[in-house]
Structure 1
Amino acid sequence: MSLRRSPLLILAAGAGVIAAVAGTGYCAGLRINLTPSYPRGLWRIEPLDRAAATGDLIFICPPDTVEFERAFARGYIRRGLCAGGLSPLIKTVAAVSGQQVDVANQVLIDGRPLPDSDIRHTDAAGRPLLAFAGGVIPAGELYLHSDFAGSYDSRYFGPIPSSGVLGLARPVFTFGP
């Protein structure tokens, strides 16, 4: 074996080890969050053996819709292994089916203000954002929220199907706000 091939073999072996570790972590429910909606770092998907409830912090696959393709094109969400090739979201369940959501300058759920839910009319790049019109959350859907002011959540895309819930989101190793 020549000395010129040796670095290539080492590089290939290292890449193989990294791929094996990443694959094992993925199969074990580990995910990396690089968005500011929740602390960046390593998170775990914990099985959820019941319906998602208000207050649950969850991983959820967004539906494969034009709205979420636009969100991807604008950089709000990344590529991943959910339907449509999108990445799962980490969000808090703010309302479940049957609850009334009213949207004006901020969100009200069953008449009570949702903290940190001010509505923005433009994103960080100055592009227009349209707020969800509000209404009663339909059966089988969830209204999702993050207290991060710039979060892309149900304030803008409305409720989404609970069938996309992957499980509870649990931080493993995170940093930042």
Structure 2
Amino acid sequence: MSSRRVSVMILAAGTGLIVTLTCAGWCAGLRVNMTPSYPRGLWRIEMLDREAAVGDLVFICPPHTAEFERAFARGYIRRGLCAGGLSPLIKTVVAIVGQQVDVANRISIDGRPLPDSEVRHADAAGRPLAPFAGGVVPAGELYLHSDFAGSYDSRYFGPIPSSGVLGLARPVLTFGP
């Protein structure tokens, strides 16, 4: 057998192994986070057998809207397997149905300031960001946040449907803060 043929067989076997492991990981709820909103690395989706609650760190599919298509075009989110071909977000639930969200220079929930919630009026590329106007979180929606200052979260897109929650986000092997 020629060395070229052996090389091709090894490459094919290696590719097959990578595809198999990737598919197995996907089916087991493993996801790779490459955004700075939470530590980069390998995460797991843990099934949630109740409604999402304040303090839950969740994987959530963004709704298929013009707002999220613009976010994709600006590079805030990536392509993935959610509706509209977008990637799920990892965010912390900070307000649920009936809670009042006030937006000024920072976010307040029911009159209490939310730590690390300063509102930016431009992104890292200098493009304008319009903050969410604020208001009461409607039924069936969640207000989401990340402590990362440059996070694209509900400060800008407002509450989103809780029906998009895939489950709790649990780090498996992550790097960074």
- How far is 1:135 from its partner? 0.4
Which residue of structure 1 aligns with residue 65 of structure 2?
65
Q: Deviations over 1:100-121 (max 9, x none)?
A: 0010100010000000000000
Q: Secondary structure of 1:118's partner?
A: coil
Aligned counterparts of 1:12 and 1:88: Cα–Cα separation in 2: 31
Any unmatched runs of 5+ in structure 1? none
Which residue of structure 1 aligns with residue 51 of structure 2?
51
Aligned counterparts of 2:2 and 2:66: Cα–Cα separation in 1: 53
Amino acid in structure 2 at the alignment position of 1:136: V
- 1:160 equivalent to 2:160? Answer yes
- How far is 1:2 from its partner? 2.5
Which residue of structure 2 aligns with residue 170 of structure 1?
170
- How far is 1:139 from its partner? 0.1
Which residue of structure 1 aligns with residue 94 of structure 2?
94
1:64-83 matched pairs, under 5 angstroms: 64-83=64-83
Which residue of structure 2 aligns with residue 3 of structure 1?
3
Which residue of structure 2 aligns with residue 122 of structure 1?
122
Amino acid in structure 2 at the alignment position of 1:131: P
Q: Deviations over 1:117-155 (max 9, x none)?
A: 000000000000000000000000000000000000000
Identity value in percent: 80
* CA RMSD after TM alignment: 0.6
Aligned counterparts of 1:9 and 1:147: Cα–Cα separation in 2: 47
Aligned counterparts of 1:25 and 1:50: Cα–Cα separation in 2: 24
Aligned counterparts of 1:105 and 1:133: Cα–Cα separation in 2: 12
Which residue of structure 1 aligns with residue 143 of structure 2?
143
Q: Secondary structure of 1:53's partner?
A: coil
TM-score by length of 1: 0.99
Aligned counterparts of 1:80 and 1:138: Cα–Cα separation in 2: 27
Aligned counterparts of 2:33 and 2:157: Cα–Cα separation in 1: 20
TM-score by length of 2: 0.99
- Give runs of ≥4 in structure 1 deviating > 6 Å: none
Q: Secondary structure of 2:3's partner?
A: coil
Any unmatched runs of 5+ in structure 2? none
Aligned counterparts of 1:26 and 1:87: Cα–Cα separation in 2: 13
Amino acid in structure 1 at the alignment position of 2:130: L
Aligned counterparts of 1:123 and 1:51: Cα–Cα separation in 2: 32
